[in-house]
Amino acid sequence: MKYYIHTYGCQMNIHDSEKIAGILRDMGYDECNSPEEADVVVFNTCCIRETAEKKIYGHIGQMKKLKCKKPNLIVAVCGCMSQQEGASEHIRQSYPFVDVVLGTGNLNMLRQGIENAGRQRLFNTDFCCVREEDFPQYRTSYPNAWVNINYGCNNFCTYCIVPYVRGRERSRRPEDILAEVKGLLSDGYKEITLLGQNVNSYGKDIEGASFASLMREIGKLPGKFRLRFMTSHPKDLTQDIIDAVAEHKNICNNVHLPVQSGSSRILKAMNRRYDRESYLALVERIKECIPDVGITTDIMVGFPGETEEDFCDTLDLVRKAQFSSAFCFVYSPRKGTPASLMPQIDDAVKKDRITRLLACQNEVTKRISKTMVGKRYEVLVEGNNFRYKDTMCGRTESGRLVNFKCDSSLVGKFVTVKIERASSATLWGVVTEEE
């Protein structure tokens, strides 16, 4: 019996898929490489932008044919897309070959859904309060391990669907997180990435807990490992958090700090609760306190009402902030969010702006990459880079991906790499020292 999981979207979903895999393996299923070979196909979905959603519905639709060929095939849909209002009902009516639909807060029902498939379809998007500890997990990202620290979001940025599909902010207990991290380190994981929609607000719902103190507790655990975290909301990134990163060698000098726009007017309309000046001041402070820090970001173009002048403010901020990399998106209206009701921008304008934004960030990345050539960096070897044959890859502490040649036995080891060549975002180097 075999399973195939198709994961869409962010790291949170990648980690949720490790829990889905854990449940399926517990039931006796093994992983396979395509839906055609599988007895169970699970779509772990994303709905952050319309393009993602359209693609996923297309992929689910393809299961109709496959199920004609393999009538016992079980099809399950879970994650953010199914949690959207009306989505579960839509799938029930328009995709009769789907057996199970679950949301983001009840993965624990997957077993029951699969066991009853064929006799009874299961559609349930209720939020159950299951504890992380109750899930078997099958980890797929060695030497890195994902660790949830908080779920959901209370910020309601006006463009964003996440608070509607992931619910209100909930923090895990610090002792549970610490126990999980200790277990992972003793299992040989070398990099721990703390996950939350907004990690900086971790602990606001638990007396005496805070993100800075959680990081300090983890940072002082013995042994050589790296601690990463994502995502940081600029409005909640305190000096205490910056200090914790600066103090601990184990905590990576890498901050993912989504800015979204460089225009204070647009930031206000987005309900981001910081402005251009305070964001740039924060970036400066981070750079002063954390040597060689890599700051990455998310940026959106084409938010309702964005003028050419607003967009030029974004380009200007990109040049000033000098992000080591940026994920750039075209704004996509999401049903049920306030921004979807505002007057929208022309698609052609959005297209022009995303092209210009990508070119602008590319220049910045290229400049930073050039400064790295000739220098040596400690890199954690992650594995093959599937894009280039016989090439391994890993990240610098600041989060830059480096390609190099080395033996596959070095996966999970720290090596020193001298950067020899840089083509914009891609760095190439040679290993000069092994652990």
Q: Which residues bind ligand SF4 (CB under 6 A)?
A: 153, 155-157, 160, 162-163, 197-198, 233
> How is residue 87 written in tokens?
């989505």
Contacts for 86-94: CB closer than 8 Å, 24+ residues apart = 87/47, 87/125, 88/123, 88/124, 88/125, 89/123, 91/60, 91/123, 92/121, 92/123
Decide if residue 331 touches ligand 5AD (CB under 6 A): yes
Grouping H, G, I as helix, E, B as strand and the rest as coil, residue 67 is helix
Residue 314 contacts which entry, ligand SF4, ligand 5AD, none (Cβ below 5-8 A, type-dependent): none
Shortest distance, CB of residue 152 to ligand 5AD, whole angstroms? 15
Q: Which is nearer to ligand 5AD, 29 or 331 (CB)?
A: 331
> How is residue 339 written in tokens?
């921004």
Looking at 332, 361, 365, 398, which residue binds ligand 5AD (CB under 6 A)?
A: 332
Shortest distance, CB of residue 155 to ligand SF4, whole angstroms? 4
Looking at 166, 228, 334, 353, which residue binds ligand 5AD (CB under 6 A)?
A: 334
Residue 295 contacts which entry, ligand 5AD, ligand SF4, none (Cβ below 5-8 A, type-dependent): none
Written in H, E and C, the secondary structure of 352-413 is: HHHHHHHHHHHHHHHHHHHHHCCCEEEEEEEEECCCCCCCEEEEECCCCEEEECCCHHHCCC
Q: Which is nearer to ligand 5AD, 109 or 257 (CB)?
A: 257
Residue 48 contacts which entry, ligand 5AD, ligand SF4, none (Cβ below 5-8 A, type-dependent): ligand 5AD
Which window, 208-216, 274-282, 329-337, 388-396, contacts ligand 5AD (CB under 6 A)? 329-337
Q: Which is nearer to ligand SF4, 339 or 419 (CB)?
A: 339
Decide if residue 275 touches ligand 5AD (CB under 6 A): no
Cβ atoms 27, 63 nearer than 8 A:
no
How many Cα atoms within 13 Å fall on the side-chain side of residue 377?
A: 30
Distance of CA 250 to CAs 25, 208, 238, Å?
A: 33, 23, 19
Shortest distance, CB of residue 1 to ligand SF4, whole angstroms? 36
Q: Which is nearer to ligand SF4, 197 or 396 (CB)?
A: 197
Cα torsion 14, 18, 23, 26 to 10°: value is 160
Residue 156 contacts which entry, ligand 5AD, ligand SF4, none (Cβ below 5-8 A, type-dependent): ligand SF4
Decide if residue 394 touches ligand 5AD (CB under 6 A): no
Q: Which residues of 266-292 are buried (b: 16+ CB within 10 A; e: fewer)?
A: bbebbebebebeebbebbeebeeebee
Interface size with ligand 5AD, residues (CB under 6 A): 12
Shortest distance, CB of residue 329 to ligand 5AD, whole angstroms? 4
Decide if residue 270 touches ligand 5AD (CB under 6 A): no
Grouping H, G, I as helix, E, B as strand and the rest as coil, residue 21 is helix
d(CA 49, CA 388): 30
Contacts for 105-110: CB closer than 8 Å, 24+ residues apart = 105/130, 105/167, 106/130, 107/16, 107/19, 107/20, 107/23, 107/78, 107/135, 108/134, 108/135, 110/20, 110/23, 110/24, 110/42, 110/76, 110/78
Cβ atoms 253, 245 nearer than 8 A:
yes
Which window, 12-20, 60-68, 127-135, 327-335, contacts ligand 5AD (CB under 6 A)? 327-335
Residue 153 contacts which entry, ligand 5AD, ligand SF4, none (Cβ below 5-8 A, type-dependent): ligand SF4
Looking at 250, 260, 324, 369, which residue binds ligand 5AD (CB under 6 A)?
A: 260
Looking at 8, 43, 202, 329, which residue binds ligand 5AD (CB under 6 A)?
A: 329
Site for ligand 5AD in 157-176 (CB under 6 A): 159-160
Cβ atoms 278, 287 nearer than 8 A:
no
Based on the number of CB atoms within 10 Å of its own CB, is 396 exposed (0-12), middle (13-18) or buried (19 or more)? buried
Q: Which is nearer to ligand SF4, 153 or 244 (CB)?
A: 153
Q: Which is nearer to ligand SF4, 172 or 233 (CB)?
A: 233
Which window, 216-224, 261-269, 324-332, 425-433, contacts ligand 5AD (CB under 6 A)? 324-332
Decide if residue 257 touches ligand 5AD (CB under 6 A): no
The binding site for ligand 5AD (CB under 6 A) comprises: 48-49, 159-160, 258, 260, 298, 300, 329, 331-332, 334
